[in-house]
Structure 1
Amino acid sequence: MKSNQLYPETTKEIYDKRVALAPEMAEAFHNFGKAVFKVGALSEKTKQLIAVAVAHVTQCPYCISSHTKLALRKGASKEEIMEAIWVASEMRAGAAYAHAALAIDEMESIKP
């Protein structure tokens, strides 16, 4: 890993090591991914836009990079990708705001 990088680059060598350490699970995961992203009720483009949004919520830099590229390849515009990211941002912020109900409930349960 380069000293100025936070995460190692994805390489075939790293991929091969992951597969070698758990080949059955790697194959199952690969097949699962193929099934999830094939055309169904949703188009491949829509699925990739969802993946871009979720990748931002889970904060996976590898997923952000790969699914952004795949979304573009499946026909998504830069504007669609950015809008998907804004939807993810609102959902993440909204969840924090909604969970304030838990803190309020605790505060209300404590009697001075």
Structure 2
Amino acid sequence: MSNKDQTIFPPATPQMSKKRADLAPDQVSAFRNFSKEVFKEGALDEKTKQLIAVASAHITQCPYCIKSHTKQAKQKGASNEEIMEAIWVASEMRAGAAYAHAAIAIDEMDKLEE
């Protein structure tokens, strides 16, 4: 992120994490436990889960998630090419959703013409 972006999105710092936890300690604890469980190796290995998270972060457009899960994907052994391919899958899904939802607009237009 550029310095300009950091004025829009405050940096993720330990102090910010502490403030969130102080404001809702039970929920933060539950979320952290949930997150640990979700990202543990299971039917999917940890690298694959991080690649899914990178793709999802691009769909939800969360800059914090993009940074965090890209770093974690690299730590779990993902290559730059695998990360970029996951981002392209996310791009197709986001574009595909817009295209698919055109059916709603077409249906509405058809109703208005009746």
Consecutive unaligned residues of structure 2, counting only runs of 5 or more, are: none
Please say if 1:39 is aligned against 2:41.
yes
Identity of aligned residues (%): 68
Matched with 1:111 is 113
Q: Which among 11, 14, 35 is matched to residue 12 of structure 1?
A: 14
SS at match of 2:49: helix
TM-score normalised per structure 2: 0.93
Deviation, 1:109, is 1.1
Matches within 5 A, 1:1-112: 4=4, 5=6, 6-111=8-113
- State the distance in 1 between where 2:111 and 2:29 align: 50
RMSD after superposition: 1.1
Q: Any idea what the Cα deviations from partners look like across 1:38-75, whole Å, max 9, x if unmatched?
A: 00000000000000000000000000000000000000
Deviation, 1:29, is 0.2
Letter in 2 for 1:42: L
- State the distance in 2 between where 1:18 and 1:58 align: 21
SS at match of 1:110: helix
Q: Any idea what the Cα deviations from partners look like across 1:72-106, whole Å, max 9, x if unmatched?
A: 00000000000000000000000000000011111
Consecutive unaligned residues of structure 1, counting only runs of 5 or more, are: none
TM-score normalised per structure 1: 0.95
Deviation, 1:110, is 1.5
Q: Which runs of 4+ in 1 moved over 6 A?
A: none
SS at match of 1:76: coil
